[in-house]
Homo-oligomer: A and B are copies of this chain.
């Protein structure tokens, strides 16, 4: 993705031509100024938006993708990471800003492929890139950050809101995302929107650092999660990864990051069978699995095996800043 032949790099192109090229590469997802790129700010009509969502997430070469990931898939991942945050509120995606931090020796054709993934994903989800910024990093480095807006048609599903007695559910399967799912996932937008419209949920978030780290954010003060370990929806890649690492697939499902599934708590008064049958009718291809319940905390343990009531040994998910 980097080159010593400067003719192949963005350095040869220069900033002005690069911005023009990016506009072309983005095509229909880059609206004309002042709605889009080309002025000091993008101007958006928000007169019909009551509540706006606002989120940001980035991908860095060497951290969120490597040379085994096609550049277009890395670009798609940037958009989908942010879409997953919109999904986790139950929102609908809107306009976005793109920050590119590139080494001057980044290959122009690599960046074009990266942008083609952004374009395709933006088209799929009706996101437009309305502005951005280009900065430089030392040779061999690349980071892209996106700031995405969204709209709520109903009240957003927050992380706070769960109560003792609520059931804990997850969508999809968990663990081993390192093989492909970390970029080859579908953000649960339709599912999140459906859950926000329905009256079942007390709280919701997306799983980015593993349940071990993320579930804590949904637990109310003085509570602990009792987990039905045999029910955890293990992915095939969790099993595959376990064979390689010598750990259990269960641990991978609980601690691996980047599942981009929804973690949901369901109000204790809800009819779980009704929820599950409605879900299965609406999303027959997406598993929704009850993995536990929120109970009063008895001791230090945050997560317990629901059958033995013993503390689970996994309290750490993916740790950043290492």
Contacts and interface: CB of A to CB of B under 8 A. Distances in A.
Interface stretch (A44-52, A114-122, A223-231, A304-312): A44-52
B53 A158 contact: no
Residue among A56, A95, A205, A319 with max Cβ neighbours from chain B (10 Å): A56
Contacts of A86: 40-41
A6 to B, nearest CB: 11
Given A42-B54, A50-B46, A143 B101 contact: yes
A270 to B, nearest CB: 22
Residue among A52, A54, A85 with max Cβ neighbours from chain B (10 Å): A54
Contacts of A130: 54
Interface stretch (A131-139, A168-176, A244-252, A279-287): A131-139
A46 B99 CA distance: 24
Residue among A49, A56, A63, A321 with max Cβ neighbours from chain B (10 Å): A321
Interface of A: 10-11, 13-15, 18, 33-34, 38-47, 49-58, 60, 63, 85-86, 88-89, 91, 95, 97, 99, 101-102, 104, 130-138, 141, 143, 145, 147, 149-150, 152, 156, 158-160, 205-206, 319-322
26 contacts: A11-B321, A14-B319, A14-B320, A40-B86, A41-B53, A41-B89, A41-B91, A43-B51, A43-B52, A43-B152, A44-B52, A44-B53, A44-B54, A45-B51, A46-B46, A46-B50, A56-B99, A56-B133, A56-B147, A60-B135, A63-B135, A63-B136, A99-B147, A133-B145, A136-B322, A137-B137
